[in-house]
Chains A and B, each alone.
Chain A
Amino acid sequence: DVKVTQSSRYLVKRTGEKVFLECVQDMDHENMFWYRQDPGLGLRLIYFSYDVKMKEKGDIPEGYSVSREKKERFSLILESASTNQTSMYLCASSRVSIGIRTNEKLFFGSGTQLSVL
């Protein structure tokens, strides 16, 4: 089975801190995604990556950056954490299929509940 591992289940940080959320997948997937999930808003895409060193902005990239130096690892960085970034963060990965990059089953990590105080 594909495993997508997020480094922390719960994280508490202070306003202004730099925060790193790590995600590792073990199935050699090309696509990796970072979402945040808030009550009433559903899943919203922050950033995604189709290949090593590639990144593309999702719907809500402001205040975030990402890094994909190795195929299996996709990091989400909060440059200066703010209270409105308190949320559940979910990483996902999928294989690339010819023609339609995202027309493949998605595999999710367990999520990181981040609280910014």
Chain B
Amino acid sequence: KNEVEQSPQNLTAQEGEFITINCSYSVGISALHWLQQHPGGGIVSLFMLSSGKKKHGRLIATINIQEKHSSLHITASHPRDSAVYICAVINSGNTPLVFGKGTRLSVIA
């Protein structure tokens, strides 16, 4: 079974800072998700990627398949970015996602 590790577990940043959250996994995958969970529980899918880089607004996700590593970057962070960010991977074949334990981000004004 794939092991998914996220770092850091907790992160506090000042508004405007550039933020990086990392995700490493142990076994080759077909794709990787980045998810966002705000206080109150709802989870939103941010990105799904299998190679290279994707950008949406101030969020950028990259993946290096050879190194089994992905990063989520937030530029010009804002207090509304405060949330738990979760990485999840899809192994090859018809298997469900394997989730990391999440990174709790707090952005202070």
Q: Which residues of A contact B (CB under 8 A)?
A: 33, 40-45, 48, 58, 88, 90, 92, 100-111, 113
Contacts and interface: CB of A to CB of B under 8 A. Distances in A.
A102 B97 contact: yes
Contacts of A111: 41-43
A108 B88 CA distance: 14
B48 A102 contact: no
Interface in B60-105: 86, 88, 90, 92-97, 99-102
Given A43-B86, A102-B96, A106-B88, 13 more contacts: A40-B101, A41-B101, A100-B30, A100-B90, A100-B93, A102-B90, A102-B94, A103-B31, A105-B45, A108-B35, A108-B42, A108-B43, A109-B42
Interface residues of B, number: 24
Contact of B96 (A48, A88, A105, A110): A48
Contacts of A101: 94
Interface in B30-65: 30-31, 33, 35, 40-45, 48
